[in-house]
Amino acid sequence: MTRTKAVQTMGIPGIEINGVALSHGGTRVFDGLTLDLREDRVAVIGRNGAGKTQLARLISGLGAPDAGTVRVHGVDVAHDRKAALSTVGILFQNPDHQIIFPTVEEELSFGLRNQGHDAAAATRSVASILSRFGRSDWAARPVIELSQGQRHLVCLMAVLLMAPRVIVLDEPFAGLDMATALRLSRYLDALDQQLVHITHDLDAIAGYDRAIWLDAGAVRADGAPDQVVAAYRAEMAALGGSDAFTDL
């Protein structure tokens, strides 16, 4: 993915993570994590279990930290849920954690109706995004009849329709075929919103403004994607060259 848009950090009220601690069932996930994310395109990489999804949940306000604060565009997202919904949207790794309604149109309309759009306006917006992704025939389709990759795309369209200021993407290309992934990549590229993109696909973040390598809940490297990715690749190649599974 390449971006020609200039890095925009001045005066952007982005994501402020301050001194965050979080534990899960005795596992310490974060212990004093602090990050100030104001760039348009931020990538988060790291090994399995590094804390990427937990970070995504905190940014989206789906979980509250045990200590510290998370503010997105000034909103305390864990505690002001109403404001959080129009401030930040999340695309989960697993679409089945997101989908509630029987048909694609109902699923896509739900958030819009919650935002106060009437039924006719919601139907128009849904038709427009389905057409943009070349899926106009999906409106009346039962979600259960879609493949995993197709359900993933429905979830993404639902987030895009809500037009939040920040979009958190947890492995957005997972399970998508190449043509759909390319179309999605172009679509994401053109969005005005700030994106936080969690991925194991290191090529997908090449044109990003900033990459953060999370390692055991802490920032291991933070900077330009080419440098962070090069350091990450080198370490992964070294670890992958060993036969020991003890550090998994």
By CB under 6 A, tell whether 112 contacts ligand ATP: no
Number of residues this chain uses to bind ligand ATP (CB under 6 A): 12
Nearer to ligand ATP, 163 or 174 (CB): 174
Q: For residue 237, how far is the Cα from the chain centroid?
A: 26
Name the residue type at position 81.
R
By CB under 6 A, tell whether 24 contacts ligand ATP: yes
Dihedral of CA atoms 59, 157, 46, 228 in degrees, nearest 10, equals -90
Q: Which stretch binds ligand ATP (CB under 6 A): 20-28, 32-40, 78-86, 153-161?
A: 20-28
Q: CB-based contacts of 210: which residues, under 8 Å, 6+ apart?
A: 37, 39, 41, 42, 43, 222, 223, 224, 225
Q: Which of 54, 60, 87, 180 binds ligand ATP (CB under 6 A)?
A: 54
Q: For residue 223, how far is the Cα from the chain centroid?
A: 19
Q: Which stretch binds ligand ATP (CB under 6 A): 19-27, 117-125, 140-148, 235-243?
A: 19-27
Q: Which of 14, 51, 61, 68 binds ligand ATP (CB under 6 A)?
A: 51
Q: Tell me the closest approach of the beta carbon of residue 246 to ligand ATP, in angstroms.
A: 15
CA distance 50 to 44: 10
By CB under 6 A, tell whether 91 contacts ligand ATP: no
Owner of token pair 């989908």: 99
By CB under 6 A, tell whether 180 contacts ligand ATP: no
Counts of helices then strands in the chain (DSSP H, E)? 7, 10
Nearer to ligand ATP, 29 or 181 (CB): 29
Q: Which stretch binds ligand ATP (CB under 6 A): 34-42, 50-58, 128-136, 226-234?
A: 50-58
Environment class of 21 (CB within 10 Å of its CB; exposed 0-12, middle 13-18, buried 19+): middle
Binding footprint of ligand ATP on the chain (CB under 6 A): 24-25, 27, 29, 46, 48-54
